[in-house]
Homo-oligomer: A and B are copies of this chain.
């Protein structure tokens, strides 16, 4: 049978990260590629106890169809945490689904969509199915440059997509002044903002900067996630949308999966309802701060001169820039042959990006292996810099 593919599907390709993860499934590979939270960060005992309560007292609700908007007590919990009306909160099947729903509701083929440089690969994938024209906004270490948001760039654009906290892939956090400038500029241009915030709770210094949403409630759609603060296997995210958009997102969600699994929503609610998250997050932040410090220390010890990186204050990722002339994509095979892996930075650019960048996740691998993995990478990059052409070949 000859299936006629839709135009959007003909352009579909598998994620670069997904392909890398397949290669790095071998247990001997020290993988800094995936963004898998450490299983140590999951509150297993608390979720197990919650499951006893859910199936003991609320089984009929947990196992039945539920409202498209989500389980009301969980929506109210999110609303209270963000100081919004629960009527603006929708529970989604991971925040990835929120990206898909925004694409469904806001993107026509050919619509301009503005993104950071670089930006989150999963958002590019979700939006790409609706065939926008991605426009990369110039950024510095603080995020998008407000002056780069020109009237020309914003004309007809459906939204700008940003991760203000510990961005994937760069780990950068947008300072308050930049946030204020960005939302003011977007408002002046009539440009909606999509604020994706999976890592906001992972600030090691405990500092919570105001969300873009709180600075411009009617112009921002906010996406949150339970994946990094509770557990990704629940696939629970949420969005907070202005009333003008909320109803359409609900209708799109209804057509997409009716609603997010009731069982996951009730498990999450029973786990967080008594305030677990705040104490639990302290331990997650401490865990990841230690992992981050271990990787920063290893980078200092093992990277050759000319390699630079940022020092994230939270989140899961460090962004490396190699000296010009090195190609992180071309060196990946050699790295994997040495049983260490990363994601080449080029995957995170809407258009052509520099080939000498890469993303390291520091949350999956134990500290002792971080040292060893970074040492292997340092040796590889040093050899490549020394013109050792064998370095770029599989060992």
Residues of A within 8 A of B (CB): 1-9, 12-15, 18, 34, 36-37, 39, 42, 44, 47-48, 51-52, 54-56, 59-66, 68, 93-94, 96-97, 100, 104-108, 111, 122, 125-126, 128-130, 156, 158, 187, 190, 192, 218-219, 227, 231-236, 242, 244-245, 247-248, 250-252, 254-264, 267
Contacts and interface: CB of A to CB of B under 8 A. Distances in A.
A247 B94 CA distance: 22
Contact of A251 (B14, B227, B244): B14
Contacts of A260: 93, 235
A96 B256 contact: yes
Contacts of A245: 3
Contacts of A122: 255, 258
Contact of A219 (B1, B14, B51, B130): B1
A63 B100 contact: no
Contacts of A264: 261, 263-264
A49 to B, nearest CB: 9
Given A6-B130, A15-B254, A104-B9, A65 B36 contact: yes
5 closest A-B pairs by CB:
A233-B262, A63-B231, A48-B55, A235-B261, A1-B219
Contacts of A235: 93, 257-262
Contacts of A126: 255-256
Contact of A9 (B48, B55, B129, B248): B248
A258 B39 contact: no
A62 B8 contact: no
A227 B4 CA distance: 30
Of A6, A104, A264, A267, most buried by chain B (CB within 10 Å of CB) is A6
A51 to B, nearest CB: 5
Contact of A261 (B12, B60, B100, B233): B233
A203 B12 CA distance: 39
21 contacts: A1-B187, A1-B219, A1-B244, A2-B190, A6-B104, A6-B107, A6-B108, A6-B158, A48-B52, A48-B59, A51-B55, A63-B232, A63-B234, A65-B227, A93-B235, A94-B258, A97-B256, A104-B129, A126-B256, A233-B262, A235-B259
Contacts of A125: 254-255
A17 B263 CA distance: 23
B258 A261 contact: no
A9 B233 contact: no
Contacts of A36: 64-65
A244 B256 CA distance: 23
Of A56, A129, A190, A235, most buried by chain B (CB within 10 Å of CB) is A235
A192 B129 CA distance: 22
Nearest to A264: B261
Contacts of A248: 5, 9, 12
Given A39-B64, A48-B52, A234-B263, 12 more contacts: A1-B219, A4-B158, A6-B105, A7-B108, A9-B104, A48-B55, A63-B231, A93-B260, A96-B256, A125-B255, A129-B252, A233-B261
